[in-house]
A and B are shown apart, each in its own frame.
Chain A
């Protein structure tokens, strides 16, 4: 939505390379979550962050609430990383998540 601006909208990577996805927030967000939507349409939760940085395998995410952004870094991309990545944030006070429009990632060999 308008409160969550996600970029880039599309990204192509060769296997073994990496890049970063970014979400900017126009209002103060309490926490951010990152999801991967795979080819079957399933939404897989990658990270929940209220602050700081988390790492899981080849993925690393950072959330800076003061500067209103979050990033998702992918390194050593693999074919199975292809899909659409969404960030989603909540303003606090409820469990409603506001989603970005997604980044469609294509990893090729």
Chain B
């Protein structure tokens, strides 16, 4: 059974709309993350959360807003969607946010913005 659940697996949106990407982890981890994989680019770190608090934000745009309603949830709200936002968005988790821990990834949400 997958331990990090991302929903939906595929998402198509129109330019200017808003979407929420869902992530839940059942590994008992205290740190959660979002990464983005765009075509022809390496995976890029976006956010890290520890105990539901934002630890690091490498996303320049405020259109990307993480939301953590529970320790094992870290959703990603994206507003005013643009075609350049098209990518696969991966949620990940680790035991803590020290960096000295193995990172586990969900299966990703592939977002296409038309």
Name A residues whose Cβ lies closer than 8 Å to a Cβ of B. Answer: 1, 4, 30-31, 33, 35, 40-45, 48, 50, 86, 88, 90, 92-102
Contacts and interface: CB of A to CB of B under 8 A. Distances in A.
Interface residues of B, number: 27
Contact of B108 (A4, A42, A50, A99): A42
Contacts, number: 70
B69 interface: no
Interface of B: 31, 33, 35, 42-45, 48, 55-56, 58, 88, 90, 94, 96-105, 107-108, 110
Nearest to A48: B102
12 contacts: A30-B99, A41-B108, A42-B107, A48-B102, A92-B99, A93-B99, A94-B99, A95-B33, A95-B55, A95-B103, A96-B56, A99-B44
A32 to B, nearest CB: 11
Contact of A95 (B90, B98, B110): B98
Contact of B43 (A40, A88, A92): A88
